[in-house]
Structure 1
Amino acid sequence: MQQKHQYFSIDDATKKLEYYCSYQERCHAEVVQKLQQMHMIPQAIDSIVVHLIENNFLNEERFARSFARGKHRIKKWGKLRIVNELKFRGISKYNIDSALKEFTTEEYLETFHTLADTTWNSIKESNLLKKKKKFCDFLIRKGYESNLIFEKCNDLSAE
């Protein structure tokens, strides 16, 4: 079977992308990918992206800040995971540094300790070494620094 492609004029695509960017912060890569899925030519993609930036629908610093804030507060991600995800999306070092200022050191550590305590208490493992491994693996996947994790692990296992 042959697939039918829907074709968009530049105006239609621009309106569609304005809406796409207005209901959720987007990075440049997501917008370009969306336009490529719409089968837009490279010149049209460039002009639409420029339009979105000029009209403040697209702003990488705002995206990075929003991303970091949300992932830390809602998904309880650590700095390492946030930085890696932003790098994966092609965000500049300046914007990543700016995004990490969205939460204070106190807030970051409070989130870490709360998550660590909850995780430790939820792991039902009688073997202490296995419990420590599961605990550390979970927090490393969440993107927390290993020195924080191992320090907390030693504190909790000593209790």
Structure 2
Amino acid sequence: MEPEKKHIVKLDRRAALAKAEHYCAYQERSQQEVRNKLYEWGLWSSDVEELIAELIQTNFLNEERFAMAYVSGKFNIKKWGKIKIKQGLKLKRVPDKMILNALKSINYDNYLNTIKLAAEKKLNVITEKDPYKKRYKLVSYLLSKGFENDLITEVLKDNDLP
């Protein structure tokens, strides 16, 4: 049996615009996400770029607003560090300058507190007895959450954590 192929439905420009507006209104989107979706809907590249320009003009699509929402959500809800958030935004092809501006919106004290809370929570589930291995596991976990090594070290030292 052959694998099922995706059936691409070619939309006309007006239908694609209405669908794209709904897609952007439902949730903040990056330009790249919308561009990919428009191509998925079978539009030509000239139409895709025109529609994206129109969505930006009508404020359905705003890369800066998207970057702020992304940073806010990933930090406040998922408790990600700045490194992981930055990588996520780069994957969505958000310009570096917008990424840096959005990351500045994270309060430094809240950031350090988030690292501390994540460390304390992880320490409760690490069963390792050897203090060096325990610290290694903790630091590795915090690095995987996207926190910076120097801040991890500072937080662990300041709070007498392993």
TM-score normalized by structure 1? 0.91
> Aligned-pair RMSD on alpha carbons?
1.6
Cα shift at 1:21: 0.5
Q: Is contact 1:136-1:153 (8 Å) kept?
A: no
Residue 63 (structure 1) aligns with: 66
Tell me which stretches of 4 or more aligned residues in structure 1 moved more than 6 Å.
none
Q: Output the CA distance in 1 between the equivalents of 2:84 and 2:120.
A: 20
Partner of 1:123: 126
1:152 CA drift (Å): 3.7
Secondary structure of the 2:161 match is helix
Query: Which residue is equivalent to 1:35?
Result: 38
Larger proportion of helix: 1
Q: Distance in 2 between matches of 1:62 and 1:110?
A: 25
Q: Which residue of 1 aligns with 2:8?
A: 5
Cα distance in 2 for partners of 1:27, 1:118 equals 33
Measured after TM superposition, the shift of residue 86 of structure 1 is 1.2
Please say if residues 72 and 78 of structure 1, whose CA atoms lie closer than 8 Å, have aligned partners that are also in contact: yes
Q: Distance in 2 between matches of 1:47 and 1:151?
A: 49
Structure 1: gaps (5+ residues): none
Q: How many residues align?
A: 157
Question: Structure 2-normalised TM-score?
Answer: 0.90
Q: Deviations over 1:91-147 (max 9, x none)?
A: 112211221122211111111111111112221222222221211111101111101
2:161: which partner in 1? 156
Please state how far the C-alpha of 1:51 moved relative to its aligned partner: 0.9
1:100 is matched with 103
Residue by residue over 1:19-49, the C-alpha shift from the partner in whole angstroms, topping out at 9 and shown as x without a partner, is 1111110001101110111111011101110
Are 2:115 and 2:155, in contact at CA under 8 Å, matched by a contact in 1?
A: no
Q: Percent identity?
A: 37
Match of 2:94 among 85, 91, 96: 91
Task: Read off the aligned partner of 1:33 and give its amino acid letter.
Answer: N
- Asked if 1:133 corresponds to 2:136, the answer is yes
SS of the residue aligned with 1:77? Answer: coil
The residue number in structure 2 matching 1:45 is 48
Name whichever of 146-155 and 136-145 sits farther off: 146-155
The Cα shift of 1:153 comes to: 4.0
Moved more, 129-138 or 16-25: 129-138
Instruction: Work out whether residues 135 and 153 of structure 1, in 8 Å CA contact, stay in contact via their aligned partners in 2.
Output: no
Amino acid at match of 2:30: C
Task: Indicate conservation of the 8 Å contact 2:8/2:40, yes or no.
Answer: no
Structure 1 residue aligned with 2:84: 81
Which residue identity is paired with 2:68?
Answer: R
